[in-house]
């Protein structure tokens, strides 16, 4: 009997999130539609961008919740593992090696696959080499990721000093997330990777619940701790690599989404947390892009506001002593 009010509250929360998401999608698709032949073109364009926003939202939300469960810390995000810095380093190397013309001539899907493959390879090498030595190396893995991120940023800055101003401007443009320019050709591959990773993550929800109890308790309950940790980190690598290669690096967005998810649900079950995180992230991206694109006329960029708000939220968590 005691579980029923909680279940009812969760059903109401998911119903509310679903309703808000559907309203946001409807407004995104239908607001300000032109008349005549242009209507079908605009609808198709909006549908492609909507699919991209949904993919980025779902991957970022799910990856951050899983990573925080693994690390046992609500302040850490997967981006500290060096994926964003590696992405920027890749763009810098490509521009320096190929020049502006050569960089621009690379097919978008080839660049997407290259970026995704390199970031996933980094995750597999890092996780496999460290976690293969013992299941207690999570902290060392995270610390190594932080150090690699600093090294990648330093290398990017070093190479950037030898670029001419035009090449450096191209690198800078590639270094910031762009929610308004999504290549539709990349969506099928990104959708397949996302569906596979999210589906596997949801199938592991029960194991993630046990993993969140800590290593000793998880092992005592019979969890194959090292295997679950390795698979979880691999999924996080995929879910971080896809949106980063699709739109560029966004450091603090996942932190905001995970904080809102835990605050709204107040429930440790990952079968609830993972879909809720994806829905909240999608709502934030769609609503935010609507405001900045159609109400403010691109007076600012959503990625800038997300990074600013995420930085403030990060400081709030630190000041409140929420590091666990």
Phi-psi region of 214 (alpha: psi -120 to 50; beta: other; left: phi over 0): left
The count of domains in the chain is 1
How does DSSP assign 114-145, residue by residue? HHHHHHHHHHHHHHHHHHTT-TT-HHHHHHHH
Residue 174 included in any domain: yes
User: pLDDT for 229-253, tens place per residue?
Assistant: 888 888 888 888 888 878 877 777 8
pLDDT, tens digit, for every residue of 121-151?
877 776 666 555 544 556 777 777 778 888 8
Give the pLDDT confidence of 23-48 residue by residue, as tens digits.
999 988 887 777 777 788 888 888 88
* DSSP 3-state of 47: helix
- Angstrom distances, CA of residue 204 to CA of 2, 151, 199, 200, 201: 26, 33, 9, 6, 5
Instruction: Check residue 79 and report its DSSP letter.
Output: G
Average pLDDT over every residue of 88-108: 83
Read off the pLDDT band of 298 (50, 70, 90). Answer: low
Residue 324 falls inside a structural domain: no
Q: Is residue 207 part of a domain?
A: yes
Q: How many CB atoms lie within 10 A of CB 106?
A: 13
Confidence at residue 138, expressed as pLDDT on a 0 to 100 scale: 64
- Domain span holding position 238: 3-319
User: Phi first, then psi: what are they for 269, rounded to 5°?
Assistant: -75, 125
Give the Cα separation of 239 and 281 in Å (integer). 14
Q: Of all residues in the chain, what percent carry a pLDDT higher than 70? A: 86
Q: Count the residues in the chain.
A: 324
- Residue 27 and residue 290 in contact, taking contact as beta carbons nearer than 8 Å: yes
Predicted pLDDT of residue 195: 93
Mind listing the pLDDT tens digit for each residue in 42-66? 888 888 888 888 998 999 999 999 9
Is 143 among the domain residues?
yes
In a domain, 260, yes or no: yes
Mean pLDDT of the chain: 81
In a domain, 83, yes or no: yes
Helix extents (H) in 106-224: 108-131, 138-160, 165-174, 187-203, 205-211, 215-220
pLDDT of residue 135: 45
Position 251 in a domain: yes
Looking up residue 97, the CATH number of its domain turns out to be 1.10.3470.10
Residue 1 — pLDDT band, cuts 50, 70, 90?
Answer: very low
In angstroms, the Cα distances linking 293 to 2, 41, 287, 290 are 46, 18, 10, 5
Model pLDDT for residues 202-212, shown as the tens digit of each residue:
999 999 999 88
Residue 256 lies in a domain: yes
Tokens of 83: 């994926």
At residue 187, the pLDDT reads: 86
């Amino acid at each position: 009997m005691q579980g029923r009010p909680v279940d009812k509250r969760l059903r109401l929360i998911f119903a509310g999130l679903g309703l808000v998401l559907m309203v946001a999608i409807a407004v995104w698709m239908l607001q300000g539609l032109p008349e005549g032949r242009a209507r079908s073109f605009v609808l198709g364009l909006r549908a492609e961008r909507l699919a991209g926003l949904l993919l980025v939202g779902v991957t970022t939300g799910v990856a951050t919740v899983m990573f925080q469960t693994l690390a046992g810390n609500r302040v850490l995000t997967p981006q500290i593992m060096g994926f964003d810095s590696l992405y920027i380093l890749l763009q810098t190397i490509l521009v320096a090696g190929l020049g502006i013309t050569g960089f621009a001539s690379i097919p978008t899907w080839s660049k997407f696959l290259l970026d995704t493959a390199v970031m996933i390879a980094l995750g597999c090498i890092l996780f496999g080499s460290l976690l293969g030595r013992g299941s207690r190396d999570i902290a060392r893995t995270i610390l190594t990721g932080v150090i690699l991120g600093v090294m990648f940023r330093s290398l990017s800055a070093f190479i950037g000093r030898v670029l001419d101003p035009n090449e450096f401007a191209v690198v800078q443009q590639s270094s910031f997330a762009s929610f308004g320019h999504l290549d539709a050709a990349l969506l099928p591959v990104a959708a397949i990777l996302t569906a596979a990773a999210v589906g596997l993550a949801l199938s592991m929800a029960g194991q993630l619940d046990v993993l969140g109890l800590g290593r000793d308790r998880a092992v005592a309950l019979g969890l194959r701790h090292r295997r679950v940790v390795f698979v979880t980190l691999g999924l996080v690598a995929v879910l971080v690599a896809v949106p980063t290669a699709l739109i560029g690096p966004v450091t603090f967005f996942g932190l905001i989404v995970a904080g809102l998810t835990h605050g709204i649900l107040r429930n440790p079950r990952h079968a609830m947390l993972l879909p809720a995180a994806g829905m909240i992230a999608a709502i934030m991206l769609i609503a935010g892009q609507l405001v900045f694109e159609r109400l403010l006329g691109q007076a600012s960029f959503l990625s800038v506001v997300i990074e600013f708000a995420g930085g403030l939220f990060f400081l709030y968590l630190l000041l409140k002593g929420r590091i666990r």
